[in-house]
Amino acid sequence: MTTNRTLGLVGGTSWVSTMDYYRLINEGVNAKLGGNQFARCVIHSFNYADIQALTFREDWGGVLALVAAAADNLVRSGAEGIVLCANTMHLIADDLAQRLDVPIIHIVDATAARIKAAGLRQVALLGTKYTMEKGFFKERLGARGVSVVIPDDADREFIHGSIFGDLSAGIVRPEVKRRYLDIIAALAQRGAEGAILGCTEIPLVVKPGETSTPTFDTTAIHAEAAVSFALA
CATH of residue 48's domain is 3.40.50.1860
Query: Is the Cα dihedral 76, 78, 80, 82 positive or negative?
Result: negative
On whether the CB atoms of residues 216 and 123 are closer than 8 A, the answer is yes
Question: Within a domain: residue 2?
Answer: no
Question: Tens digits of per-residue pLDDT, 193-209?
Answer: 999 999 888 988 999 89
Same-domain pairing of 73 and 157: no
Count of structural domains, the chain:
2
Predicted pLDDT at 16: 81
Question: Within a domain: residue 1?
Answer: no
* DSSP-derived 3-state class of residue 63: helix
Question: Tens digits of per-residue pLDDT, 92-133?
Answer: 999 999 999 999 999 999 999 999 999 999 999 999 999 999
Question: Within a domain: residue 70?
Answer: yes
Sheet with 81-84, side-by-side order of all strands: 41-45, 7-11, 81-84
Q: Which residue has the higher pLDDT, 147 or 17?
A: 147
Same-domain pairing of 21 and 93: yes
Question: Tens digits of per-residue pLDDT, 136-178?
Answer: 999 999 999 999 999 999 999 999 999 888 877 778 889 999 9
Question: Within a domain: residue 134?
Answer: yes
* pTM, to two decimals: 0.91
Domain encompassing residue 89 = 7-106+220-231
Phi and psi, residue 207, nearest 5°: -105, 155
